[in-house]
Amino acid sequence: MTGSVRWEDDVRSPKGGDLVRRHRLSTRIWHWTNAVALLVLLMSGLMIFNAHPRLYWGEYGANPDPAWLEIGSRGDQGFLRVGKVEVPTTGVLGRWRDANGVTRSRAFGVTRSRAFPHWATIPSHYSLADGRLWHLAFAWILALSLALYMLWSLVNGHVGRDLHVRREQWSPRHIWHDLKDHARLRFPTGAAALDYNVLQKLSYVTVIFVLLPLMIATGLTMSPNLNAGLRWLLDLFGGRQSARSIHFICAGGLVAFFIVHIAMVFAAGPIREIRSIVTGWYRLPEDRAQESDAP
């Protein structure tokens, strides 16, 4: 028979099959607030990007200037260009059909193609003003929730206890072993499943302390109203257009993290994983015989 135990209280050593308390309330609230905020920010950000689907380095950027990334169309063909590499994207990016089967949309009375399709943006119709309103509102939610979560995680020891990469975990052999286990979908069982491995720690630290703060800082840099008082941000990121490019790259990094994260949730057992982040309770995977190739 399996039991229930709060593993933080160290009542006894948990084993496979036990139902244990894993995620604190603060972690669960931040997780879902973050998920909703990032989804709205991504979709409203794509609407803003549709207004000028090109990225530059430096202070200025306009249609005649050389862009390092461009999403557009020529005639009936959509394309994505990164540097000198161009790939066709008709039907996905640059040129696509809307809900009525029309391949062009109208904005301000001008017939035009849009970089991202209607189902990927907020709002679904072209409106730069509405996209900015949605983006700004949820940017505040993201920034405040991140600041509170980071502060609380430092106070309750979550960062030092769960996210700190121990010295032995930095060894190439240890990292390579974790990479092989992930590639083979071999996940820890029993009490070992309560600890983050080195790949999880590095991913979470990168998202919480690098990508999200960079998103917020570059977002502030792109605001003309803040540039007068925070001119140093423009100097730090090399201009408003460079900040916009970094903002877009960080968003891509967060999307990549989300895809891998969801894939790992389904691979490890979606019911067990989703229950833990909703209720805080986690059913430890049953113990199994360990292979002899552990580091």
pLDDT score recorded for residue 110: 43
pLDDT score recorded for residue 183: 84
> Sheet containing 19-21: which strands, arranged edge to edge?
4-5, 19-21, 281-283
60-91 pLDDT, tens digit per residue, is 777 778 899 999 888 888 899 999 999 999 88
pLDDT score recorded for residue 135: 96
pTM: 0.82
pLDDT score recorded for residue 293: 42
Tokens describing residue 278: 């909703």
Compute the distance between CA of residue 239 and CA of residue 75 in angstroms, rounded to an integer. Answer: 33
Report in angstroms the alpha-carbon separations of 247 from 7, 52, 158, 242, 292.
Answer: 39, 15, 28, 8, 44
pLDDT score recorded for residue 181: 87
178-200 pLDDT, tens digit per residue, is 888 888 888 888 777 888 888 88
Are the C-beta atoms of 15 and 30 separated by less than 8 Å?
no
For residue 44, with 0-12 CB atoms within 10 Å meaning exposed, 13-18 middle and 19 or more buried, which class applies? buried
Which top CATH class is 4-63+121-283? mainly alpha
Are the C-beta atoms of 103 and 76 separated by less than 8 Å?
yes
Q: Give every residue of the chain whose pLDDT is below 50, as ranges.
A: 1-11, 101-103, 105-111, 289-295
pLDDT score recorded for residue 112: 53
The neighbouring-strand residues paired with 85 are: 82
Amino acid at site 10? D
Report in angstroms the alpha-carbon separations of 266 from 1, 39, 119, 166, 274.
Answer: 26, 20, 25, 27, 9
Q: How does strand 85-88 pair with strand 69-74?
A: unpaired
